[in-house]
Structures are given as C-alpha cells and as structure tokens.
Structure 1
C-alpha cells in the first residue's frame, strides 16, 4: 500500500484535510463570498462544513499563511504613498492605514482603533521593520495633521527618518486611494465585523490575496519560467505553503483523501479525558440530537434530545461505559424510527403499545424496536 503523504504540523488534530482548509481560506480571502456561500459551495463538492468552521479556519491560518508567503515577497519601491480608510467594527469607525509605492505595490497595512499620531507612528515603524521592505526615500501624505506630526516625532527618535522626504501632493495619493477599493469591495459582501481581532486578521488575509493578485510574490518554478507558462493560483499557493498540490480526480476538484476524512469523522465523538476537572456540566453532540452529558463528578450519560407534540424532550439511552457508542447509536436510531411513525420513544412499553394500537398498525419492526429500546 502507498504511504500517506506527511501532514503539515499546523493541521494536526484537525477533522478535515489540509486541502479543504486551504481551499476554503483561499477562496474566502480572494473572492467576494460570505461564509455561508462558501459552505454551500463546498457542500456541492461532497464535503459538509459549517460556516463557523470556515470562520475559525480563517482566524487560525491567515497569520500562518502570511508568514509562509513572506518568504517569497518581492521588494517594493522607495517612494511611498500613505493613506488611511475607515472600517466599521460594531458600528464604530476604525481606520486601516495602508501604503503603496509608486507602481501601486502594497507596502504594509495596519488596523488601528483611532486616527491619531500614535497610530501613524505605529504604522510607519512596522512598515520599515517588515521583512524585505526597503527604507523609503520619499513619503507622500494627505493634509491630515496627525500624520505629519508622526513623522516629525519619528525623526527625533531615529536619525534615519531625517533622510526621508515628506511631500503633501493630493494628486499623488490617488493611486493609494484607488487601491483602497479592492479592500473595501471585498468587505462589502460581509455582514459586519464584530470584534477588532477578527477584523484585523480578516483584513490582513484580504490584503495578502490582493498582493498575490498584483504579483508581488515570486513562487514560480524554473520549468514554468523556461516554458513560458503561467502557474495556476492553486499551484502558487501549494508552492508558497511548502507542499505540492494533490492530484485531482473527478469533477469535484477535491482530492479523495478529503472526502474520506470528512466521512470517517462525521459521527465520531471527541475523546473525553476522565481526569479533566470540570466546573459545569457539558454536552458533546454527535448529530441528530444524540449527545453525551458530562458531569463535573466524572459521570457520562447518553441522551437523545428531540421534539414531540411541539415540546422538547430528552430520552436517556444509558450510562457510559456500560453502554458503548455503538449501542448508543443503535438505540438512537431506533428512537428516531419510533418518532417517525408518531410514537414518543420516552413512553414506557405499555403506553407505547396502547398508542400504537389505537392510532397505527402494529408492525414487526416496531415491536422489535420497542423490545430493544427497553
């Protein structure tokens, strides 16, 4: 049997394969898609992923992807255009500081809560400290006073800023103001940012995709350069993240291991440690209303939550480990079959039989199900 490809350590412990995670994150930061739109698109390819899982992947892996792409960054020019644009977070205005060079290549971006001198200083310090960024020779600013004051203060703390010429030409900043449109256009399909950290990570991912679109990274191979062919976006991402793309089969565009991982773990309960202290009871759901109820004392109980007669009810299926996961799933399936024919599985055997005789026809399957449910 062929050996499985080694998995990247950053995906260790994840339910889905690296192909699914990279595809969802790449599509979200590149195209004008919401989390729910992306979840529906992946579902058409045979992988069931919730929109909240994609959101957690974006917040977790965008900073890591930025570090790996930074290894292939091309140098930018020394003539910068600096400007800031407003971003709404929970209805309050925040400011995204951005800078591009004379050719329109992105230099750096930083999200700040206020439009102050300290924010402009923090942006300029991080811009020159960024890996691969050359020290600017000229910086063009708008007429906002705080930005000019920030440069004057930086000249007092570092002599290298004294050699940077400052210009105040309103027309030279048209290139950075037009470059804001790519970021603002991508944010238009989102509902709204709910927290500062979420907005900062998401905007940095959108900025990364924008830089990739402007060809600010060199990840091409010698073979493609010699043949004059252009690599696809998937191949560029695979080289930048340190792994070659997996062979694609069928019309889905996803690897076979992706489907195997998603189907194998669909109804698997997470491992629960016995000695883990808990302060409050906890529920670990498996799907279809079946869950394990974890008590602070260490007890674990199988439960089935369902609705009958317009009311929410709970059926106890046994105590773990006396009742294993396979037995709990079997009882859960039988309870759902009873519920499908209009019988409340929480009733006792005699009450269920009276209800079934009065309203439904008796069947061998239901009789066997009632016997096993007891």
Structure 2
C-alpha cells in the first residue's frame, strides 16, 4: 500500500474532487474499496477486518467511499481497457435490487475477456438493444454474437442489423455460451455477501466496480508490463 500514500493535492482533478470531503487516509479508503469489489466480503466484514488492523472504520463509511469513488475508477479504467475480440458471447444474469430481480447484461469474447455490462430493470428487446448499442459504441462492432434462445436478444440484434450494411452474424446456441455463464459466477460470487442492493443506483455503481476489478484480474488493463499485481493496477487508476 506504499504507493497509495500520495498527497491528495497530487491526485488527478476528478479523483481529488471526489475525495475532498473524505477525511480518512487515502490508503485506507482505497484498500477498503478494493477489497469490497474484489472479494466476497460484506461491509461489516470490512469493518471488523480494519478494526483488527487498528483502524476504526464504520461500515456505512465504506459504503459511502465505494459509491463516491467507483464511478471515477471506472472512468479512468475505460481508456486503458484492452481491445476485445470480434466474436462475442452474450447473456444476462439476475441481480436482486430492493427485493426484486433485475437483469445484468454481459458479454465476453471467445477468449473470456469482458466486452461490457449493463444493469437494466427489465428483460426485453429494449433492454437488450440498449446493451448492444453501449457495447458496440465502446468496443467496436463484432463480427459474430452468440446468444441463447432468448427471443428478446435475437429481436434486438435483428433491429440493429436492419440499419447496417454489413449485418452482425447471430448464432443462437446455449452450449456455446458456457464461457459467459461461467464468467457470471465470478461476479455473482462477489455480490452474494452484499445480500441484495437497496437501490438501483447503488447496484449499478457497485457492480461497475466489481466488473472493473474482474477485468483487471483477467489482464484487460493496458500498461501492465512488468507484471504489476491486480492491486497495483487498481491503485494506478487513482494515483
């Protein structure tokens, strides 16, 4: 954590503004945020773990740090994300928000690299199309997209193809989507101790932090020559 002990005045303007009213040491804030989005820990787990290290941190403070800092971390990560392949496997998984199931749309390329993600309140053609539009805008157009037998996903891709001179090749095969279903598990394992989210906004922010950390672990961040650890890459987004 030595690298995190940087004067706040030396931080990027956006990060510095976010941290302006957070008076806890920066290294403590970053450690708690990283642990929360990287491991299967609840906020109270983190409170206890910091207390064992002689640092008094309330679990509600950790939650506030995550909500304030993660959007800036994701923004810093995006320009440093490595390009993904042109063959995508897309699927959705279920996330509980305020006691109701919401839908996390995700895709990976054939190598297992995360393409993009999007939390939506509904599971329909509009939600699927919004996901594809976002993923294509950020990652370029794929040559092939493999989906399951969902009619909404197929309808969304057909609508996109209608406006393209070169259509995206669409495959519907649930067995080819095993790679994305396995990748869902890595995200769900981190989310499980959180016991559901209290608001859609908090769910969206925290899930983006989990996804960013997951991509860093998979080697999807540029400039990792010299084999820096995942933790060092995470902290480099701030410092």
Distance across 1 between alignment mates of 2:215 and 2:234? 13
Q: Deviations over 1:251-310 (max 9, x none)?
A: xxxxxxxxxxxxxxxxxxxxxxxxxxxxxxxxxxxxxxxxxxxxxxxxxxxxxxxxxxxx
Asked whether the equivalents of residues 95 and 196 of structure 2 are also in contact (C-alpha less than 8 Å), the reply is: no
- CA drift of 1:91 comes to 2.0
- CA drift of 1:186 comes to 1.2
Distance across 1 between alignment mates of 2:143 and 2:213? 27
Q: 2:40 aligns with which of 32, 35, 58?
A: 32
With structure 2 as the length reference, what TM-score do the two structures score?
0.90
Asked whether the equivalents of residues 219 and 239 of structure 1 are also in contact (C-alpha less than 8 Å), the reply is: no
Distance across 2 between alignment mates of 1:183 and 1:154? 28
- CA drift of 1:7 comes to 4.4
Matched, 1:240 2:237: yes
Matched, 1:57 2:93: no
Asked whether the equivalents of residues 97 and 197 of structure 2 are also in contact (C-alpha less than 8 Å), the reply is: yes
State the Cα RMSD in Å: 1.6
Q: Which has the larger radius of gyration?
A: 1
Q: Decide which structure has greater helix share.
A: 2
Asked whether the equivalents of residues 74 and 209 of structure 2 are also in contact (C-alpha less than 8 Å), the reply is: yes
Distance across 1 between alignment mates of 2:76 and 2:86? 24
Matched, 1:166 2:163: no
Say which SS state the counterpart of residue 139 (structure 1) adopts: strand
Distance across 2 between alignment mates of 1:195 and 1:98? 20
Q: 1:98 aligns with which of 91, 106, 121?
A: 106
- Residue matched to 2:145: 139
- CA drift of 1:175 comes to 0.5
- CA drift of 1:92 comes to 1.3
What is the count of residue pairs matched by the alignment? Answer: 228
Matched, 1:79 2:87: yes
Q: 2:193 aligns with which of 189, 199, 211?
A: 189
Asked whether the equivalents of residues 30 and 206 of structure 1 are also in contact (C-alpha less than 8 Å), the reply is: yes
Distance across 2 between alignment mates of 1:13 and 1:200? 23
- Residue matched to 2:29: 21
Matched, 1:116 2:124: yes
Distance across 2 between alignment mates of 1:140 and 1:232? 32
- CA drift of 1:218 comes to 2.0
Asked whether the equivalents of residues 216 and 233 of structure 2 are also in contact (C-alpha less than 8 Å), the reply is: no
Distance across 1 between alignment mates of 2:217 and 2:74? 14
Consecutive unaligned residues of structure 2, counting only runs of 5 or more, are: 1-5
